[in-house]
Structure 1
Amino acid sequence: MRIEKKIKDFLVFSGDSLLDALKRINDNQARIAFVVEDSGVLLGAVSDGDVRRWITRSPELDFNLPVDQVMNRDFVARLLTDPPAAIDESFDHKRDIIPLIDNMGRFVALARRGVVGFQLGERLISDQSPAFIIAEVGNNHNGDIQLAKRLVDLAIEAGADCVKFQMRDLSTLYSNQGKNAEACYDLGSQYTLDLLNRFQLDNDALCAVFDYCTARGILPLCTPWDLASLRVLEDYGLQGYKVASADLTNNELLTALAATGKPLICSTGMSTEPEIKGAVSLLRRLGAPFALLHCNSTYPTPFKDVNLSYLACLKQITGTLVGYSGHERGIAVPVAAVALGARIIEKHLTVDRHMEGNDHKVSLLPEEFADMVRQIRAVEEAMGQGGERELTQGEMINRENLAKSLVIDCDLSRGQLIRRDMIVVRSPGQGLQPNRLDELVGKVAQN
């Protein structure tokens, strides 16, 4: 099931003509449109079947009559806030699209059966859509809100679809309430906790950066590292969440995230295959819309450890969208991941790889990120649609100029039998292709 919030092509207003409804049905190619009041309250549905039934019982066919006279008022709708599993139960052999309404009864979204993917903000993420590219800022702002906003600007200029940050409540996340690390912590943990204490943006500042993203027209996402942070982000109203590799086995947090009903993008670094399958089983059971990102949580990741071939296995395990979150250097791997089926790409972004912090050294500079986006879009264009091999316009021109044809190399009279020794292969390719030689031999000349 996939939930979509772009409903314009499904929307008909009460009082519009039946012809208007038919145009909508033709535009959306889904055989149905939904009729609403001016306020958006859902009144009914009109399908191509409803129109056929009207045609068979109407003595006069007037396609300018109000659609209200043809629409079906006995329709099935669900609340947008209903659990995905409950919405899924509303599909049957006749219904593969369910309108979703808000608490005021207004048509706000729709659910499609059997379609892989989900809508995140204004972007539809599916196997048929362009790759969704996330600029991971994380804590690369180093606690400076102005730098955070600058990174947002740079991500937009580079062509990213989304800018992602991280939120932690150190007092609940760490066993020592987030104070400077004690001697019992290993050196890596001490270093990380020290950086977090110095470089985190507080919640109000981070929410201000989210506001800045929205004002600039790019989707903000965030990774909540704990339940306290999730509550803050839910109060703010983020449209989806990124799940850190470290929390793929955190069933408590996964359950809370699934309860939001929002799309989840989950990294799989540091998890074994049984652990990945366990997380998938839990998210499916909870009815959460989700995608998994193949990931290796080594900073930087050696190319020999990336194992991009695992994307196919991950796709088989999940039966849903897969993507790639990379910590290797350069852009070759994420570009290759798109060619292998990744529909979501996440890479870190920084203004200076020499800044203090865990992620800067594995991050792309703005011009590198922009180059990655260009290369990904070029690969997507080059992938095409598959299917039967057809000649392009350029090939047809070159085929005529460069290819070869069968030519009769002697005087030939009408009615004469064509023998093999009369035929030669010559350019240009304006006649029969050489592979049709056997068809030509034995024919009788017509002219």
Structure 2
Amino acid sequence: MSRQMKFVAFLMAGPTCHHHGMWRHPQTENRFLDPAFWETLARTLEAGRFDGFFFADALSFYNETIMARGGQMSLLDPVPLVAMMARATSRIGLGVTISTSFQQPYAIARVLSSLDALTAGRIAWNIVTSAIDQEAQFFGEETLLPRSERYDRAEEVLKVCLDLWTGWADGALVCDKKSGHFIDEAKMRRTEIAGQHVGARGVFTVPPSPQRHPVIMQAGSSPRGRDFAASYAELVFTLQHSLPDMQKFYVEMKGRVDKAGRNPDDCAILVSVDPIVGETQSIAREKQAYINDLVDPRLAIPFMSAHTGLDLSQYPIDKPISDIPAEAGSRGSFDVILQATKASNLTLGEAAKHFAISELCPQVVGTPENVADELQGFFENEGCDGFIVTPTEMPGSFEAFTRSVVPILQKRGLFRKEYPGSTLRETIRA
């Protein structure tokens, strides 16, 4: 079978995803507190044979402007949402974001492994390290660890989780009523890890799922983040502005995976796109202009500041963004912004407005055939292995995409018609 695309939907339990005008669109339902809304959305994505969906997360309101104006935020913890949506589906992958900066690895391993067991192997963990001090303050700390130490801790947390998850050998759970033998202790291994930041001692209590442990997903953009992803990630989520940027990242990331001693095919690179589908090209362009005009300009600078961990309000909005220093915060995120804006030499204000629209990712706009053509071009020209699909209205963006674009890609042999197996790992590696 020829190489096929992968699709993962980007979700947040709040008013926006990437696009900060989304909640203001007249067709957006804003039913983010309604269980039935999320269950129906999960069924829609599964009907479209998406590999999975994942919830990005924010542990705090980034700032008062974002809170007041309906910017990017999480109003709910993604873990119970995913558990609920799992009950409405049977094959689609289910991703949750959990930061490694605040919780102990045993707590992370236990909740994710429980979800993975109860969904028969459909869970992914999107690993983040957090970028703003407000999140640390909820956990009793004044500030985050320095940027380099955050990845040191993240690597320790992940290694402990992996050690816990692999403590059960096949056949360890006996559950033999006649003999009275429940667990074969000879097939159980203790975890004994004492790291600089975290550790764990004991026998892990959660039996493994059919995929053994959750799929690892990561979106680091800095050199350290890319090294981390190269060593561990099975799905890499990246924000790239154009096909040349995608191709450059793709080649560089696959090279890092190979250098880390892994098969590059075991790490899928997914680029973010915002599809806007219309009956005609002109209708689609009108829809794009309409939704983009709904972005509140008062959100732009505060949102980009929150995303990068930099206070950009201290700079004039007409200052070229390339002239702004970025020693603190999320260096990788700021580098992505610089890369996406360098060709146009955008000012801070211009870049922030674009960032609040799509985080500088491509808006793929046109008829279903136009959108399919553009995605096919990104894919076949080695820009990616697939796409993180982000909405501009909810749930309409996903309904239009699954009902009109997906069938075209299936007819072209570029996307599956059925799931290849029962676990997420089987799906992404098919």
TM-score bin, normalised by smaller chain: 0.3 to 0.5
| Structure possessing the higher radius of gyration over alpha carbons | 1
Hey, which of these two has a bigger chunk of strand by percent?
Answer: 1
TM-score by length of 2: 0.33
Q: Which has the higher contact order (CA 8 A, sep 6+)?
A: 2
